[in-house]
């Protein structure tokens, strides 16, 4: 006979207590009166949610060369994907070129190598940018990749006002969680505001910021910390835009958010409902936004992430499926589902297709899209939503009492808070208090014999050869002139997007542009002891 649940405490993964039963006394008398599509949008940002339009189904993908990744993109679109999500290799993320000695061993490994506009042109060859939405997981070099994407759209004769997509462009969480920073916080924030300002004027349907709690989560944060820190980041970006003199309603409608959905099914649903409500109130009450579009919390998710296990990897198929389901029940706008083999390697074509099919089955077979808010009125979910909101709001207050998000990052406080949470979680897994099937219960073996995706050992050579060919065919004087204009703008106060766009159009490299900015802005140094 299987063992019953012998936990001593019943709590969410964020340590919020769970009662055995919930009833009318556990929810506000006003619960249920709010309609979907109405402020503060607890029940969803659209009146009918998925009855009128499904979420955008993407697959996070990028590897090797632009040619190889283009083939994968075409395959995914042919299989019913509605958008693209571009994974970029580490050198591209930190602003160094494929021929830089520091890029050795990393070219094309965790994403596609993009050195120049020529790579971006190849990446989207045959893919009409006026018809699909593209998301870029890029931060330090976001302005450069954004400029290149605009240039490709221009070459395809797609008007700027028609291109849709997202650049992550959330540098603050990089200092905490992933480490793909280049510049110190202040010049990095300037670059972010430059992109937001430029986007509001030139690409009004493109999201120029996506505050990404996902990486807080994979670094070990709780769901409450993921939500609270992400909103604290977004507040900083909104404040900096306002300080630039931008009207809140000119840029807030293009704010977006990005999260990992983890394994606590109900907590994840409540997380998204609580954040939707909090953001609406922050925008309307704190920033005085009057346009209802500014109040709407639009978010994408990845299902899988650090919850994937190398042991018994087929178990990940189940994990991703129910994480995707909780994301839909939480009101997601765009979703990437991890392939089950991503704890071992980049996904194969077969595993990527299965991940996409997971979303399609949920959308078309389960019936969960038939009503706007299936858990609306649930005593448990409504109570948990309130608890999550209160906990996130308290955390935002704690951050601001310590000087705000930038100050807390610079002194290492956010890093310490997340490290403490990660340590607690690992202790719970090690002790068996938190069960992970295939790891600490019903443990299996890592799939050594499984067929895994592999990259050509000649990839780096091929990419460097391509880069050298581009350099040989461009106008050196034009490149030098455009790079000089970037330096001049960086030393002043002008928006950097125009000169960056000029340099990208002249086929200046990501590394060349980044190095000019390094020369003016310097590089970030991580606080001691972190």
Lowest pLDDT segment from 20-24, 51-55, 347-351, 489-493: 347-351
| One domain for residues 488 and 412 | no
Q: Which DSSP letter does residue 283 get? A: I
Residue 227 lies in a domain: yes
From 398, 414, 431, the end of a domain falls on 431
Count: domains in the chain: 2
| One domain for residues 211 and 289 | yes
b (16+ CB within 10 A) / e for 159-192? eeeebbbbbbbbbbbbbbbbebbbbbbebbbbbb
From 431, 459, 492, the end of a domain falls on 431
Write down the pLDDT at residue 1.
Answer: 38
| One domain for residues 484 and 416 | no
| One domain for residues 337 and 394 | yes
**334, β-bridge pairs:** 56, 300
Write down the pLDDT at residue 448.
Answer: 56
| One domain for residues 298 and 410 | yes
| One domain for residues 258 and 337 | yes
Cα 148–234–274 angle (5° rounding)? 125
**17, β-bridge pairs:** 11
Write down the pLDDT at residue 526.
Answer: 80
The C-alpha atoms of residue 132 and residue 152 are separated, in whole angstroms, by 13
Using DSSP, how many helices (H) and how many strands (E) does the chain show?
20, 10
| One domain for residues 215 and 343 | yes
Lowest pLDDT segment from 19-23, 238-242, 302-306, 523-527: 523-527
The pLDDT tens digits of the residues spanning 361-391 come to 999 999 999 999 999 999 999 999 999 999 9
Residues whose CB is less than 8 angstroms from the CB of residue 378 and which lie 6 or more positions away in sequence, other chains included? none
Residue 159 lies in a domain: yes
Write down the pLDDT at residue 527.
Answer: 73
The pLDDT tens digits of the residues spanning 407-423 come to 999 999 999 999 999 99
Residue 40 lies in a domain: no
The pLDDT tens digits of the residues spanning 194-242 come to 999 999 999 999 999 999 999 999 999 999 999 999 999 999 999 999 9
Residue 32 has pLDDT above 80, yes or no: no
Residue 270 has pLDDT above 80, yes or no: yes
Write down the pLDDT at residue 296.
Answer: 98
| One domain for residues 513 and 419 | no
| One domain for residues 122 and 68 | yes
Residue 13 lies in a domain: no
The C-alpha atoms of residue 112 and residue 33 are separated, in whole angstroms, by 48
| One domain for residues 511 and 402 | no
Q: What's the rounded mean pLDDT across residues 17-26?
A: 96
Q: How many CA atoms lie within 13 A of 302 on its CB side?
A: 25
Query: Which strands sit side by side in the sheet containing 255-261, from one edge to the other?
Result: 56-58, 334-337, 299-303, 255-261, 209-212
From 431, 463, 487, the end of a domain falls on 431
Write down the pLDDT at residue 9.
Answer: 81
Residue 467 lies in a domain: no
The C-alpha atoms of residue 24 and residue 237 are separated, in whole angstroms, by 39
| One domain for residues 77 and 207 | yes
Assign residue 116 the CATH number of its domain.
3.20.20.240
Domain enclosing residue 268, as ranges: 47-431
Q: What's the rounded mean pLDDT across residues 61-72?
A: 92
**To the nearest 5 percent, what fractions of the chain are helix, strand and coil?**
50, 10, 40
Write down the pLDDT at residue 189.
Answer: 97
Residue 153 exposed, middle or buried by CB count within 10 Å (0-12, 13-18, 19+): buried
Residue 316 lies in a domain: yes
How much is the pTM? 0.94
Residue 42 lies in a domain: no
Lowest pLDDT segment from 4-8, 205-209, 481-485: 4-8
Residue 440 lies in a domain: no
| One domain for residues 207 and 275 | yes
The C-alpha atoms of residue 89 and residue 93 are separated, in whole angstroms, by 6
140 pLDDT tier (thresholds 50, 70, 90): very high
């Amino acid at each position: 006979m299987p063992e019953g649940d012998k936990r001593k405490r019943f709590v969410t993964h964020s340590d919020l207590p769970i009662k055995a039963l919930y009833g009318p006394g556990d929810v506000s008398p006003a619960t249920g009166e709010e309609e979907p599509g109405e402020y503060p949008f607890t029940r969803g940002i659209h009146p009918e949610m998925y009855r009128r339009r499904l979420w955008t189904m993407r697959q996070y993908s990028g590897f090797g060369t632009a040619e190889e990744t283009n083939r994968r993109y075409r395959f995914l679109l042919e299989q019913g994907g509605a958008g693209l999500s571009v994974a970029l290799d580490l050198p591209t993320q930190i602003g160094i070129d494929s021929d830089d000695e520091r890029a050795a061993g990393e070219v094309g490994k965790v994403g596609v190598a993009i050195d120049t506009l020529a790579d971006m042109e190849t990446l989207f060859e045959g893919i009409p940018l006026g018809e699909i939405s593209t998301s870029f997981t890029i931060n330090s070099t976001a302005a450069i990749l954004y400029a290149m994407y605009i240039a490709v759209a221009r070459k395809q004769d797609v008007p700027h006002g028609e291109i849709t997509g997202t650049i992550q462009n959330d540098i603050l969480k990089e200092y905490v969680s992933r480490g793909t920073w280049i510049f110190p916080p202040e010049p990095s924030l300037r670059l972010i505001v430059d992109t937001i300002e430029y986007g509001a004027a030139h690409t009004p349907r493109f999201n120029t910021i996506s505050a990404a709690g996902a990486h807080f989560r994979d670094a070990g944060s709780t769901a409450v910390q993921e939500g609270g820190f992400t909103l604290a980041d977004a507040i900083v970006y909104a404040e900096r835009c306002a300080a630039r003199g931008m009207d809140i309603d000119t840029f807030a409608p293009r704010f977006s958010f990005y999260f990992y959905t983890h394994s606590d099914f109900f907590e994840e649903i409540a997380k998204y409902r609580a954040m939707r409500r909090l953001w609406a109130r922050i925008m309307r009450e704190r920033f005085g936004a009057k346009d209802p579009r500014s109040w709407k919390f639009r978010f994408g998710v990845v299902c899988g992430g650090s919850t994937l296990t190398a042991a018994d990897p087929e178990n990940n198929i189940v994990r991703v499926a129910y994480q995707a389901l909780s994301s839909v029940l939480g009101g997601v706008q765009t979703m990437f589902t991890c392939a089950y083999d991503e704890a071992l390697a980049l996904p194969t074509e077969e595993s990527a297709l299965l991940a996409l099919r997971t979303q399609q089955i949920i959308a078309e077979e389960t019936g969960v899209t038939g009503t706007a808010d299936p858990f609306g009125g649930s005593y448990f979910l409504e109570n948990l939503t309130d608890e999550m909101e209160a906990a996130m709001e308290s955390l935002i207050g704690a951050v601001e009492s310590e000087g705000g998000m930038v100050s807390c990052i610079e002194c290492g406080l956010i890093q310490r808070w997340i490290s403490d949470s990660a340590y607690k979680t690992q202790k719970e897994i090690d002790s068996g208090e938190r069960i992970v099937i295939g790891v600490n219960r019903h443990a299996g073996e890592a799939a050594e014999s499984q067929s895994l995706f592999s990259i050509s050992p000649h990839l780096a050579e091929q990419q460097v050869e391509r880069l050298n060919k581009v350099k040989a065919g461009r106008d050196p004087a034009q490149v030098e002139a455009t790079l000089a204009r970037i330096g001049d703008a960086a030393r002043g106060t002008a928006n950097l997007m125009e000169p960056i766009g000029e340099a990208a159009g002249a086929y200046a490299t990501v590394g060349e542009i980044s190095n000019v900015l390094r020369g003016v802005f310097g590089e970030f140094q991580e606080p001691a002891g972190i």
